[in-house]
Structures are given as C-alpha cells and as structure tokens.
Amino acid sequence: MRSSSHNLVKGVLAMEIKQVIGTENTVYPDALAIRKTVFIEEQGVDADLELDHQDEDTKHYVAYVGGEAVATARLKPLFNKRVRIQRVATLKQHRRNGYNTQVIKRVLADARAEDFYEAVLDAQETAIGFYEKMGFEVVSEPFLEAGIRHRKMMYRLDD
C-alpha cells in the first residue's frame, strides 16, 4: 500500500489529506462511505453506477478533520498524459468549509508532479462555479449522467 498524507490548518482543526492507490488499505473504506452517503443516499444515484469497479486501479484521496473522513475524490490516469477526476464529494455537514477545495488542489498538484498535462472531470451543473473558481473550463454542452445534469470540464496542468 502506498500512502501519503498532507496536513493543512482549517480554523482550529488540522485537515489531513490521505492518498492511496486501490482498495486494499484503510483509507478506501472511508472514501467509499462518503460516496455512498452523498451519491447513493442523498442524490439517489443507483448503487451499480456509483460502485463501478474502477476503484482497484485509481488513486483515492480522503480529507480528515479531527480524525473524521469529510471529503473525497479519486484520480484515474487516462491515455496521452491526461487524468480524470471523479467521485468528488463532501459530507453535507462539512460543505462550504473549503475541504474539497484543498482536496482538488492536492489532486491537481499530484497530477502535475507526475507530468500529466490535463485534468478532466464531469461536473454536476450545481458544482460548475466551484470548479470555475479553481481554473477549470466548461468544454461541453449539458448531458445527463446517472440522471443528473453534468458538463465536461478541463484544467490545463502545464500552464
């Protein structure tokens, strides 16, 4: 298991971001629990769509505050030095605290350090403003994914 962590200060509680590859570790179950809560329970996404069997070969990021897992994302390498950011989620009671901003910054920094030139993601329309503030650009018309309106977005890592 390859694992790394990074500490940030948010108010009085330190936020730690742990990153692992695959599912055979102690961090992945926390990522999965957040995803199930946000996507399946809150948003009504079908469990078969959410649990897509791509987790074994992707990087999982989980933010912890006071030892509690609060936010997650996963990073999947694509062809031609591109990466896809997926499954970005924050538990409802921890939203608007900047946790996923820090997770995404960490994901982008790691992708850049590995010489990827572009990150792509499918953003729910309600999250487009969040990603635009981070420098992502909308590159598609709206489309439905899991019954939710999304738009493809792109971030240049080589700028």
pTM of the model: 0.87
How many other C-beta atoms can be found within 10 angstroms of the C-beta atom of residue 67? 7
How many other C-beta atoms can be found within 10 angstroms of the C-beta atom of residue 109? 12
- Are 47 and 57 contacting, i.e. CB atoms less than 8 angstroms apart? no
How many other C-beta atoms can be found within 10 angstroms of the C-beta atom of residue 125? 12
Q: Tell which residue, 70, 58, 63, has the closest CA to residue 16.
A: 63
CATH number for the domain harbouring residue 100:
3.40.630.30
Gyration radius of the chain over CA positions: 15
CB-count burial class (<10 Å; 0-12, 13-18, 19+) for 87:
buried
What sign has the CA pseudo-torsion 134, 53, 56, 14?
A: positive
**Mean pLDDT of all residues in the chain?**
89
Cα 154 off chain centre by: 14
- Are 7 and 110 contacting, i.e. CB atoms less than 8 angstroms apart? no
Question: Does residue 6 register a pLDDT over 60?
Answer: no
Mean pLDDT of 93-100: 90
Mean pLDDT of 92-119: 93
Paired residues of 124 in beta bridges: 150
Mean pLDDT of 106-130: 94
pLDDT, one tens digit per residue, over 80-93 is: 899 999 999 999 98
What domain range is 97 assigned to? 3-156
Question: Does residue 10 register a pLDDT over 90?
Answer: no
- In the prediction, which pLDDT does 13 show? 66
- In the prediction, which pLDDT does 3 show? 45
pLDDT, one tens digit per residue, over 39-64 is: 989 898 888 888 888 889 999 999 99
Paired residues of 113 in beta bridges: none
**Number of independent structural domains in the chain:** 1
